[in-house]
Amino acid sequence: MNQNINKLCKDPLFQLNLAIWLAQPQIEKYFYVYPIFYRSGVSIHSIPPLLALPPDIRLAISEKLDCQEGAKPD
């Protein structure tokens, strides 16, 4: 996959995901993204809880679609 780095850096979802990674503690041996925000004292207070379809909707579509119990932001 050949991504245009300029296009990728302008993507709001990429920017949010990168900011989350920069604010998380990471084991130094396995850095892929240096956690500069975390090292500067910035941390994430919370990430929204698991998002799920209401049970009645999940039941109604369960025969047509395979859907997971829920999902969380990265």
Does residue 49 fall inside a structural domain?
yes
* Prediction pTM value: 0.54
Alpha-carbon distance 42 to 47, whole Å? 14
| Residue type at 24 in one-letter notation | Q
- Count of structural domains, the chain: 1
Residues 14-23: pLDDT tens digits?
Answer: 998 899 889 9
Residue 62's pLDDT is: 81
47 within domain boundaries: yes
Is residue 16 domain-resident? yes
Domain with 33 in it: 5-61
Structural domain contains residue 72: no
How far is the C-alpha of 33 from the C-alpha of 26, rounded, in Å?
9
Cβ 35 vs Cβ 21: under 8 Å? yes
On whether residue 68 sits in a domain, the answer given is no
Which residues 6+ apart lie within 8 Å of 15 measured at CB? 9
Query: What is the mean predicted confidence (pLDDT) over 48-67?
Result: 83
